[in-house]
Amino acid sequence: MIIVRRETPGAAAAALAAAGLPPVLARIYAARGITSPAELDCGLAALPPFGAMLGIDRAAERLARAITRRERIVIVADYDADGATACAVGIRGLRALGAEADFLVPNRFEFGYGLTPEIVAVAAAMRPDLLITVDNGIASLDGVAAAAARGIDVLVTDHHLPGATLPAPAIIVDPNQPGCTFASKNIAGVGVMFYVLTALRARLRGSGALPARGGPHLASLLDLVALGTIADVVPLDRVNRILVRQGLDRIRAGRATAGIAALFDAAGRDTADACVADLGYAVGPRLNAAGRLADMSLGIRCLLAEDAEEARGLAAKLDRLNRERREVEASMHEDAQVLLAATGPIAGDAATLCLHQPQWHQGVVGILASRLKDRYHRPTVIFAAAQNGELRGSGRSIDGFHLRDAIDLVAKRVPGAVLRFGGHAHAAGLSITPAALADFAAAFEAVARELLDPSGLQRQLDTDGELAAGELTLELCAALRDGVWGRAFPPPAFDGVFDVLSQRSVGAGHAKLELGRGGERYDAIAFRQPLPVPARIRGVYRPEISRWKGFARIQLVLDDCRAA
């Protein structure tokens, strides 16, 4: 583990401080590329216009025609939180704009990912005139062709990276398609669908179907957009930070949809104090549990519920599934540790992890890949058996190793091994034949060794430096909690030297500490930290607010502690 302090451009920090930002926050934002207070404006007016998104005008025109002609629209969703929220945004928005819209979400265990010909056949029974994909479709060449053969139009809304060939005939709205100049290449699938609705409303206003400034208030969908954006762990560029901030503000103001409010309640979180961590670690996993262990239509129905009692019942089912998911994940994690101990890839300086066990659950491989990637700091792919005899894998990667491009390279080097794949730099999914597992693992390792510098395999913990005496306050903790942090805009962490005044073990092997620095005293917790802790430590920590019986105090969450 290397501890590295982030570089803070002095001029930017000074400009932010001169504009009234507290010095600590000015330093934090400057280290994340913010150079002026205007870049921190998260008002809706700061969003880029929809017109720069390639294909969106054609999409709006086709949807407007469907509304005018009373055509039937069916949304084909994905089975993760981004796909579920994108579907809910699409259904709510389209119906509010006068469309006849329904949805279909593939069961991941039966049909796999995306708009396949098999899913088109299922959708055809709903007699659609137009299919809309959300959070998928950019790689669905065969599915789009199958729909066209049945006389069904397709609108692809996606954010994944396209392959060499785009699906045709289809209208495509994907900021990552060639020729698209939209300001954000990082917007999630739910954000793309939200933008399509804004373009459709503008089209209906322009045609006179809606009053010039009339129609539904689409901002009411932003709590869903915020949830999908955070749960999909997309980079938080300015566009995504605005969407998340606006959604959080609605949740805190008591204007969340019934489903999101119910999911907060099921997780034991207070909507009035909602933060990004609630979306990412409490609400998102409960929604995702439906797609991992059962059928994501349960999650989508929760997000579409108008009645609070109905939403609470559905959220309770999702909560039970999430508890089951945790048990499955724990068992798979134990299996993985046994497998790694037996094969010793880390001890052998392997650059990647590629694991499979016959009994592993297909819906949980992505979580296990993420856990192992975090623990060992290696690009990781985990495979499970699919019902069709294939192995379906989910991968997670570290900075500096573009996972989707790496799998593409493996597919070219080992023809026939990779049947299908897609994804991003940090996450990807794929299918292979069981016989190709060893060849895939070897080729994946070879690609990583070529593309990764050995230093890239050493975990780096970035900090925002030390806090001076008097800077670590409840006000600072509240400001940090209120921020929109995530991938590519990381939550602040600090480092410092502390005396360990007391220590005890709590929970499942966590260290509860009292730390001292000068005349200051702080509660702290280090998760999965064995005792004893050295009497004097250098700690990397995130300051949080701990509440007990109505009292608020600072608690330091230690990400790393070592003898000073």
Question: DSSP letters along 199-218, please?
Answer: HHHHHHHHHTSS-TT-S--G
Q: What separation in angstroms does the CA of 355 have from each of 352, 393, 437, 542?
A: 10, 9, 9, 33
CATH architecture of the domain formed by 462-563:
Beta Barrel (2.40)
pLDDT tens-digit readout, 133-190: 999 999 999 999 999 999 999 999 999 999 899 999 999 999 999 999 999 999 999 9
Give the alpha-carbon dihedral of 113, 192, 280, 476, to 10 degrees: 160
Residue 344: the pLDDT is 66
Burial grade of 9 (CB within 10 A; 0-12, 13-18, 19 or more): middle
Question: Look-up: residue for tokens 């092997």?
Answer: 509
Amino acid, single-letter form, for residue 337: Q
Contact 397, 379 (CB under 8 A): yes
**pLDDT by 10s per residue, the chain, length 564:** 789 999 999 999 999 999 999 999 999 999 999 999 999 999 999 999 999 999 999 999 999 999 999 999 999 999 899 999 999 999 999 999 999 999 999 887 777 778 999 999 999 999 999 999 999 999 999 999 999 999 999 999 999 999 899 999 999 999 999 999 999 999 999 999 999 999 999 999 999 999 988 899 999 999 999 999 999 999 999 999 999 999 999 999 999 999 999 999 999 999 999 999 999 999 999 999 999 998 899 999 999 999 999 999 999 999 999 999 999 999 999 999 999 988 765 645 899 999 999 999 999 999 999 999 999 999 999 999 998 889 999 999 999 999 999 999 999 999 999 999 988 889 999 999 999 999 999 999 999 999 998 888 888 999 999 999 999 999 999 999 999 999 999 999 999 999 999 999 999 889 999 999 998 999 999 998 999 999 999 999 999 999 888 889 999 999 999 999
CATH number (3.40.190.80, 3.30.1490.110, 3.10.20.30, 3.10.310.30) of 344-457 reads 3.10.310.30
Residue 345: the pLDDT is 58
Amino acid, single-letter form, for residue 432: I
Contact 361, 324 (CB under 8 A): no
Work out whether strand 418-423 and strand 427-432 pair parallel, antiparallel, or are unpaired. antiparallel
CATH number (3.30.70.580, 3.30.70.1450, 3.90.1640.30, 3.40.50.150) of 61-317 reads 3.90.1640.30
Cα separation, 51 vs 134, whole angstroms? 19
Residues ≥6 apart with Cβ < 8 Å to 216 = 93, 96, 97, 201
**Where are the chain's structural domains?**
61-317, 344-457, 462-563
Question: What are the DSSP E strand ranges found in 414-478?
Answer: 418-423, 427-432, 460-463
Residue 550: the pLDDT is 80
Residue 347: the pLDDT is 47
Per DSSP, the three-state class of 149 is: helix
User: For the chain, give me the number of helices (H) and strands (E)?
Assistant: 18, 17
Q: Which helix (H) or strand (E) holds 334?
A: helix 308-343
> What is the phi-psi region of residue 8: left when phi exceeds 0, alpha when psi lies from -120 to 50, beta otherwise?
beta
